Amino acid sequence: MSSLAIAGGKPLRTKPFARWPEFGATERTALIEVLESGIWGGYSPAVDEFERAFAVFHHASHGVCASNGTVTLEGALLAAGVGPGDEVIVPPITFAATATAVLRAGATPVFADVEAHYNLDPERVCEALSPRTKAVIPVHFGGHPADMDAILALAREHGLTVIEDAAHAHGASWKGNSVGTLGDIASFSFQQSKSLTAGEGGILIGNNAELVGRARSFFNQGRVPGRGWYEHIHLGTNQRMTAWQAAVLSAQLERLPGQLERRAQNAAYLNQRLSKLDFLEIRPPDERVTIHSYCLYTIRLRPEAMDGVDVAAFTKALAAEGIPGAGYYPHPLHHNELFRKYAFRATECPRALAACRDMFWISHEVMLAGRDDLEDFIAALEKVASGVKELAGA
Ligand SMILES: *Cc1c(COP(=O)(O)O)cnc(C)c1O
């Protein structure tokens, strides 16, 4: 095998992967409609329309858009009455916002370890409970729904609010039920890196009108329906989504079913091909997952086959070979400097620690690729793995 690109060899591939996000005439038309309507802000029929369409897509009865998927988590927590003195259980394998939203609500995050699919482990959630626990935020990591049966049972028993962080899980489902309707309220992000995007944006959906309504009031300066523009009933802020974002999102939502289908087909192909490579471990989804949205396709490197080479070195070498979209978390979330400045509790998280050494992902753009692109991806994995000696010495 030739020398690795990262060590000065020739890259396996120089052709770019297809551009993300995909867009065309529908997005252009929708944006021009907003332009010509003269209604560019959050009080726009385009926002109402997307709110309804996204909720309906997930079989939820209510939705409220906001400017991003971080404030939606804050809004959900505040709507659930979470505040100072309360604890909220979160996983350590997630983006920072899952836990910083808890701090911003004045409450304390409590980190509980993940299971084999990098989602909150219900048994560890059980150990993390205290009399102060008010809510739990399962993250559907990568688009693989968390074990909602066990988490909901626990939540019902202990009177906890369940806030789904579905930032990776647009269109995913668990036992035939869409994410976003499994817990009490669910938060999605439309930030650039997500599998449904307008560059920035977020939404809360759910079947609890009161919860979603309180969040709406928070995003909209504490206003409530039926009262005037200058009537502020609650302490709120302005986190309204703009008409531009909503128009793009409505057009993008039409593309989502086809994209989910392509990603599922590519994942099935990769599962079959990659499970033959002895330096990797591919974990098939939990049998109760009916749609994995593959915002991230996770791969575990077998440390014993890798000569001490970790995911940091491996993904860097993969990028040098011309494969985009590989990522990993360098440490569990609660090991970030930020959290040392705040009170938080963490139970032992050995699985999260291991995941930061040996788990990486390929993002959804690559999961939309054609078969030839996937072949290059597989060849690059094999090339980098066969060059670990070179890497270890680099
Ligand atoms: C991206 C993300 C968020 C935050 O969304 P933004 O729209 O970027 O604010 C929250 N949770 C998870 C798991 C995410 O990946």
Q: What are the tens digits of pLDDT across the range 341-385?
A: 998 888 999 999 999 999 999 999 899 999 999 999 999 999 999
Residue 247: alpha-carbon gap to chain centroid: 22
Six token digits for residue 159: 């009177």
Six token digits for residue 373: 């692109």
Six token digits for residue 163: 């806030």
Q: State how far the Cα of 6 lies from the Cα of 329, in Å rounded to an integer.
A: 21
Atom of ligand 1 nearest to the CA of 98: 11
Cβ of 94 closer than 6 Å to ligand 1, yes or no, is yes
- To which H or E segment does residue 25 belong? helix 25-37
Write out residues in the chain with pLDDT < 70, as ranges.
Answer: 1-2, 393-394
CA distances from 349 to 91, 148, 149, 356 (A): 9, 20, 22, 11
pTM: 0.97
Model pLDDT for residues 126-150, shown as the tens digit of each residue: 999 999 999 999 999 999 999 999 9
Q: What is the largest CA-CA distance in the chain?
A: 71
Predicted confidence at residue 2, as pLDDT, reads 61
Cβ of 69 closer than 6 Å to ligand 1, yes or no, is yes
Exactly one of 240, 300, 334, 364 is catalytic; name it: 240
Exactly one of 117, 124, 168, 263 is catalytic; name it: 168
CB 27 within 8 A of CB 198: no
For ligand 1, atom 7, name the residue with the nearest CA: 69
Predicted confidence at residue 393, as pLDDT, reads 63
For a pLDDT cut of 70, what percent of the chain falls above it? 99
Exactly one of 62, 170, 223, 383 is catalytic; name it: 223
Cβ of 97 closer than 6 Å to ligand 1, yes or no, is yes
Predicted confidence at residue 308, as pLDDT, reads 83
Atom of ligand 1 nearest to the CA of 168: 15
Cβ of 168 closer than 6 Å to ligand 1, yes or no, is yes
Predicted confidence at residue 390, as pLDDT, reads 76
